[in-house]
Structure 1
């Protein structure tokens, strides 16, 4: 007969055999997960029903405008002016070269295509996921993308008579490719500059810490439009009269500085999340300060804040539309200009152009978000494998 007893120290012991329990479920059925996600509480059930009602109410009209009543072919734009017509996708197709290249000379647009394709291939090479382990080709891909590619792109887009490429003034640049240029420069410059500012803000030297903190707080305390105006109109005032800054370079500087301030705060959060023992352990191994930062601290800090970094990149990509205020013909500015064409003066032209712009920005931002989620999942699997 089983009995209970009290062990020395007051610990309660039971001599009964524990009942045999069934093994835990490995995975719930899909309907159970669906019920728990959408109808788990009365509030979630109410919100689910309300959202479903709104979707059912709006979807028919949206499909009718986008697909069923849409105009797909209108050589002269007349079909888009018919009362009751839906989205004029013929307008988008007719203006697509202008949306992509802006006013870039038509016979030189192959240079833009080569630049975009080359950049996409290098970016895919760098970001393509691989199995665990070292990847000796990744540093080479990063060097090509961040060091060699910008020079090649500058020569191709701007021109170089020595290579037989005529010069193309930046006033003619525009459209999607210019938005990608502004976003790419902002992302590439803001990441290293943000790391430097974050390290400077945590520096033990008061002068460096004060300068970094002042810059970060000043830039974060003003709207991006103000930064763009300052870069466009005030930056030349601080330079000698003999130094001329290109009209496109000024907003590029403003975008990069603005994004670097926000990136610095994201990286600083990652640095604070690294345990103090990592600093002490690297010092115990004889690492110098820069070796410790490069090999131990920064890799962990950046992993901690991947969602924040991607969120900053997404915000920067969307904020590129603000450069139109200082006279840069980005993608959204080309849409606004194209819809004023009297040939396409239909009632749905503006809505179609802005819908196309929303689809473009939404697709790019959604892709960036999904990639970051994939990176987080792979890092979690690697961490779980190391723990196991």
Structure 2
């Protein structure tokens, strides 16, 4: 008796799988959609090709004056001439090795902390948060170890943007966690104080906060004492951002099932052990997208320090646009600044997506 043998399954038709199947299912699934797709693709190609042609093919790259910009495309010579101002502001040229060292060490630390297989990553993080900022402050400002003092009003460009963003991100997160825990506290005084703080700072624009930090904060200090303008801006940004961070964390705390709290109490854990070992890790994991969204907003809001006389990367771009020798190249300036902000914000968003997937333990729906 001959035994019947099944033939191996044939692969699905090419027209139903892969990129061809995706195009057929989503863009060419009917005559009307096919016509609309072709028309939109034509206009998109024209726009993309025009931008590509302006930014790269017909652009001018080499030169030191505006006379080098003879083409019909972008004049990136303007950016190259102003490169140091975009990066460091008006930092003395002889001391540029100090902000460059800051950029290099910052990139190294961020890379080591972001890579999950880095040995002793916890200790590196503790050093980065608790010791590294003071070393960098001494390096950039000077006055110690024979370094020349460089006043903060000479700092600018990407240097100021990164300093304000990093301090705001690193300091506002723990303060926001404490405020969120305080707002959910059973102690009426603590809960009321945290609630008032959060609602007051969330109801005030950041521009107003920066003005208050720059103008009104010295009024509360003793007579004759002065506070650096950068320090005042950092205080304002941290106080403002911590209020928003508190509400993000509070949302995560409220999303934790009540059974988690009851289980921690049943184990006899103290309040801080319950919060630190059981509740907060789950709450922070849930709120990763919201936390990173707040960080991205804070990074972009650093451009508001221009109103108190500090020139971040956007402020340097705007001041460069008023140079009589380079009038007419504002487009290149704003495109470059937008690219700088996009690179940092996009990097944070992608890392948060990766981290969210790595920590996924069943809450995703």
Superposed pair shares fold, TM > 0.5: yes
Question: Are 1:351 and 2:331 matched, yes or no?
Answer: yes
In 2, Cα distance between the equivalents of 1:218 and 1:90? 46
Seen in structure 2, the aligned counterparts of structure 1 residues 142 and 229 have a Cα distance that, compared at 3 Å, is same
Match of 2:141 among 136, 149, 158: 158
Cα deviations by residue, 1:329-361 (Å, 9 ceiling, x for unpaired): 11111111122222223x3x1000100001111
Report deviation, 1:34.
5.0
Which residue pairs with 2:4 in the alignment?
none
Which residue pairs with 2:151 in the alignment?
169
Match of 1:117 among 94, 97, 104: 104
Question: Are 1:87 and 2:67 matched, yes or no?
Answer: no
Match of 1:138 among 121, 135, 154: 121
In 2, Cα distance between the equivalents of 1:309 and 1:264? 10
Which residue pairs with 1:246 in the alignment?
228
> Number of paired residues?
350
Seen in structure 2, the aligned counterparts of structure 1 residues 362 and 47 have a Cα distance that, compared at 3 Å, is farther
Other structure's SS at 1:360 match:
helix
Contact 1:321 1:330 in 2 (8 A): yes
Contact 1:119 1:149 in 2 (8 A): no
Report deviation, 1:285.
1.5
Report deviation, 1:76.
2.1
Report deviation, 1:78.
1.2
Report deviation, 1:302.
0.3
In 2, Cα distance between the equivalents of 1:138 and 1:45? 53
Cα deviations by residue, 1:221-240 (Å, 9 ceiling, x for unpaired): 12111111111111111222
Structure 1 residue runs of 5 or longer lacking an equivalent are 1-21
Structure 2 residue runs of 5 or longer lacking an equivalent are 1-8
In 2, Cα distance between the equivalents of 1:241 and 1:114? 37
Other structure's SS at 1:165 match:
coil
Give the alignment of 1:1-388 within 5 angstroms: 29-35=18-24, 52-80=41-69, 82=70, 85-130=72-117, 137-161=120-144, 163-345=145-327, 347=328, 349-380=329-360, 383=361
Contact 1:278 1:297 in 2 (8 A): yes
Of structures 1 and 2, the larger Rg is shown by 1
RMSD over equivalenced CA pairs, Å: 2.5
In 1, Cα distance between the equivalents of 2:155 and 2:318? 16
Cα deviations by residue, 1:238-275 (Å, 9 ceiling, x for unpaired): 22223321111111111111111111111011101111
Cα deviations by residue, 1:196-219 (Å, 9 ceiling, x for unpaired): 111111111111111111111111
In 2, Cα distance between the equivalents of 1:205 and 1:158? 43
